[in-house]
Structure 1
């Protein structure tokens, strides 16, 4: 294997390797969440509650499509990481070539579907009439730039698969700074409304794509492609496609549940939508360390599975979950002490209904970060060892439980029903995957 800025995770102390690999991903994810958060803060302070509600009303739709795209690339990256662990440079290049073709195809499909169905979906989700115009303007710009998002995630997944989580971080930080500057230019200076926030996001992501592409061309000779690498082997194409689809559906089934749940939230009024949007920004920000640990662990598991080092896999998973428990404790204490102040700062709202409901959501969610951390690690670990069905099935359980919350809990409990929906699914799915993981490791050994 040609030497470059990569990390071989099949040797060394598992926890040290995972944390060193995870820290740049974590910082990058935090920056990504921060500039999404700043979008909300700028919109809230300069455009008002309705602007936040408009952006929030589209969050579930955006997450559905983006999660599918991200899931596909995370799935493809598992095969790339496995080839890297096997020290098989030819398979590594062919896997990269297949990623390119599959992502071009996905971009075309997502763009066409967005153009046709986005307004009917907003109407189906009971988006309030006074914000549906702004909601459509925001989401259509985001989705017409889906090719940019997919391409960025392809490069990010590829670089993580071969052990480089540091260099993309630098590019992401640059992109975040540019996004914040463009937010002020479009929203405050040019007064383009919520559409300006969407456009700023797309342009800053395009910068990340250009920088990542330049990096791969200049620094990674082991990823240099020729015509022969696009002469695909059927078995490798099927392996990558099925792994990508499995991971993509796992992410998107979860997001479908969120879309269904969003329809119930939209029916509760603008104040609830605004409060929920503020709470979700905090939930997603605090979730980043758990998500980052699971992403780093996925690369670790995939490389060691390719190298046949199964005891390292178990040790890595165990210690990653322990780190997740430590973070969950810190988050729990912080949110219970400061939630009202954080919500006011993010939304810029003084509406009692907005703040009270957002705080309730946060305080219900945070104690369940312990099972959530285990759930996220086990999902990616099972994918890494080639077990594609169980993670997909766990996402289906989430969908069913969110549908139940939408059609039964919300009608009886209101926003309380929304708030307890996700934590209960995290607990159930964690127990299911824990049983599946133990069974899978026995079979492997």
Structure 2
């Protein structure tokens, strides 16, 4: 949060485990925490419980981002989780320990142990970032969930409509500033229903066929009727010299694609901040369809506009807009623009997936500029000279043996010694 001029910083003297470097200026939120406001406390309960963070006292291992506050070190797989768990800690909801079956949280100085009953990390079927069911020390069953607003909004209870409208306004404001947003929600569960759901979950997870679709249906079923708590927004800073590097690569007529799961406003804002988009661009198209048919038509029109001379309606006849064909539609459109042959990952704080999927990787994005425009150019020149030399050498070598065949009766006898072909010159 940007500090307001002449506003005093909030004191966290009530929380002995707060980070002394943490600066916050919204006194109303802190007062709500002190007054034990139930929605506010439940919001921070969710942040302290709904995550995959591991607390440790030792130093961070390689390839993991460490979020350290006081003497407790959080090992997280992304800075977003680190920011949210640290925020909950500073407000008095300290995630302290985790086992396979329990989560320990210090809530306003009181230690509580929650029993972990079910957990679903982010996957390509549900598109929920995280979903878990815990039993509180008082015995209450609660489902906590955080994820994209486009998915969670479809699961909300009708009583959340007014809060949903207000939250949407905040999300649009956050996205316009280039912040990464998440929606958080919860649901109280009935004991009998949950036991039946656990049984069906076990059957689906052990099924030999179609287990992904069955699990997706189960998570959608238990998620119906969620109660909206609010939203979070975190800043995703670019690495140094990223805008300058992208601008230079664009001047070299190198095609650049950016795939993101952020809101459209966030993606556009980041696109301008990193010089991927600029005011001089013409014919910028944005896919805004709300149905499968609308998106399909917009992609078809965009592809036709890129290269109308190579567009064939016959390519689209048998394509149905399903999960597999979405990838096929995007592949067809990207093929018009040119496909990549070598994948280079960036080992940033969220770069593990890119590293695992790439052919090579390095630490900073701006290294790519030197790799392509300097070493890439040198490699291209070396390869051209080598191929040119290799072609003429083999042509001369083969032509001599061809003529010699008339004198040797085509007996495969060679003119030169075998080692001659290995000599560069």
| TM-score, with length taken from structure 1 | 0.24
More strand by share: 2
| TM-score, with length taken from structure 2 | 0.25
Q: Which of structures 1 and 2 has the bigger CA Rg?
A: 2
